[in-house]
Structure 1
Amino acid sequence: MAEVKIAAEIRTEFGKGVARRTRVAGKVPGIVYGHGADTVHVTLPGHELMMALKTANALISLDIEGRNELVIPKAVQRNALKGHIEHVDLLAVKRGEKVAVEVAVHTEGELAPGSNLLENVLNTITVEAEATHIPEAVTVSIAGLDAGASVLAKDIPLPSGTTLVTDADAVVIQVLAAQAEEPAGEETEAAEGAEA
C-alpha cells in the first residue's frame, strides 16, 4: 500500500465555533494518538484527506509542522446530509508494527444455478497486519455454492503476514433458498372457495 503524504498544522483552539470556521476554510480538525504519547490536535487539508480516505485503511505520512508521523485512520466522522468529513482520529503507527484493522470482504464467482440469495452476514472482518502492508480487502469465492452453504471467517484466504482476529467460526456469508411466492390467482380462488 502506497503512503499518502499530507501536511498538517497543530491546532490550539477548540470548540464548535472554531471547528465550523476550520471546515468553512476547507480544512478538517483531527487528533493523532498512540504509542503512549500525548494526543496531538491537528488541522488537515480537507480535499487531500478526502482523497486519501478513498482507500480503506490508508497509510498516511503526516508532516506535522516539520515532524513526520506515520498514521492510519481509526475513526472518521462525516456529515449525515452532505457526506463531507467533519473530524478524523488518526492512530500513530511504526514500520514493522502490527495493527488490528477492519477490511472489506468482497465476493467473486456465481452461485449454483437456481434462485438462491446471497446474504453478507459480515461486510468486514478484523485482521492483524503490519502497518505498512494492510490489505485493502479480502476476496472469497462463492462459485457453485448452493442453498444452505456458508463461508466462515476461517475459510477466507488472507494475504501473507495477515492473521485473523474475528472469531474463526463467525459466519461471513451464507446462501439462502429463495422463498417461492404463490401466484395471486390461486389465493383468490382459495378465498372464494372458503366463502362458498
Structure 2
Amino acid sequence: MAIEAVVFDMDGVVVDSERYWVEELSDILATAVPDADVEPESVVGINVYDQYDLLADEHDVAVTREEYFDLFDQHAATVYTERAALTDGFHDLLAELRARDLPVALVTSSFPNWVDMVFERFDLRDAFDVVVTAAEEDVPGKPEPDLYELAAARLGVAPGDLLVVEDSEHGVAAADAAGAYVVGYQHGASAGMAHDGADVVATDPGAFRARILDAL
C-alpha cells in the first residue's frame, strides 16, 4: 500500500487535550446525567451531539442538546488556550511530510471554534490542506468511517491510501473502517483504550513520529 496523504485527529494527537477533556467530562456528565454512572472515556472521541444522542438512548438526560453543547463550550477555552500543549515535535513532523510532498489533513470531532483556538495558539492556521470537522458535515461521526472517507475525497485519494493517526478507541475504529493505515497513539487518557484496529501503536511523541515516517 502506498501512502498518499497523512491525516491527524486533533484532540490527543495534535494537542494533548484529551486528558483534560476527560477531567472536564466528569463535571459535564455529572450535570447532564446526574443519576447515571457514565465513564468519561466511554464518550471520548465522539462528536458532542452524538454523545448527547448516545446518552439519551441509555439514560435520563437532565439538559437539552443545546445545553449539553453549552457545557462543553464553557470548558473549551480553558482546555485549548490554557491547558493543552502541542505534541512535541509536531511542527517538525509537518515539515518532514511537506518535504515528501504529502498532503496533510485534520479530521476532528471538535467544533470549528475550538479548532480555531488551537490553530491560533499553535500557529497551525496554514498547516493542513483539508480540515474536516464533524459538526460541519452531514454524515455520521466517529466511530463510523464517513469523516475519513470525506477527507480522502477532498484530498483526491482513496481512503485506503490514507495514513491516519488516532488516539481514541472510537477514532481508531473509524479510520480502520475506512480502510486506512492506522497509527494508534496510546498515551495519557487513551493509554488503556482498545486500539485493535490500529496497524501499529505509539506511546510517546518520538514513537509517534517514527511510526508515521516508517510507514511512508
Does TM, normalized by the shorter one, top 0.5? Answer: no
- Normalized per residue, the structure richer in helix is 2
Q: Which structure has more RCO (C-alpha within 8 Å, separation ≥ 6)?
A: 2
Q: Which protein is bigger by CA-based radius of gyration?
A: 1
- How does the TM-score come out when normalised to structure 2? 0.20
